[in-house]
Structure 1
Amino acid sequence: MNDFQTKLVLKPLSPERRWKFAYEPIRQDVRLISKKIPVTKFLNLQVGIGHNFKMNAIGWKWKLTTCFGGDGISRIRNKTTLGLVPCLDFRFGWRADYVLPEVTGQVP
């Protein structure tokens, strides 16, 4: 299955940034998202509020993330940053998720 998404992200360059603004034109979704907040040594919380123009809906989301995988999906990621002018970078990224097939059999 092939899938792609375009996303415009605006965030402060300061390491002390607390929020970022994201716009996804295909989904017509605008979000204001917090940076990941450490809850424990291995668990992070991220919250955000957004508006979807297709459904004319406003809502908030939260996400717990961890440094451990464990969801059965392997992922390859790559990000490249292209600086065009000072204070404006374009970041191009891709990821490939894959699940290895289960192989079963028996010895005669």
Structure 2
Amino acid sequence: MALLDTVLGDVGKTPGVTAATLLDGVTGLAYAEYGDPEPAQDAQETAHLATMHLNQAGFAGELESIVVTTAAHHHVTTTVARQGDPLLLFALVDRDRTNITWALRDLAERTGRLLA
């Protein structure tokens, strides 16, 4: 777990990221956390609901990412590529401290290295 915490700390270097959590995509169990984990509690449920509604609307394939924007934050949930059950990376991004496009690009690069 210490290694996962260290690697997840790298995700925290993305400008504007104030919290991040690596979640089991099936059970919602948090494997590692960075910053305040409280906002990540709904990430797994949000991803499940989005996938369910996309499937009902006729979209096929696996979920890649979700961005929910509030007045103060972007709540970013992305899948982490690996064999077996999916992992989700949740990141809370402060809207005033970053550009979401750059934050998403940086998170994608860091997520790709997360389990390498």
**TM-score, normalised with respect to structure 2:** 0.29
- Give the structure, 1 or 2, with the largest relative contact order (CA under 8 Å, sep 6 or more): 2
Report which of the two structures shows the higher radius of gyration computed on alpha carbons: 1
The structure in which a higher percent of residues are helix is: 2
The structure in which a higher percent of residues are strand is: 1
**TM-score, normalised with respect to structure 1:** 0.30
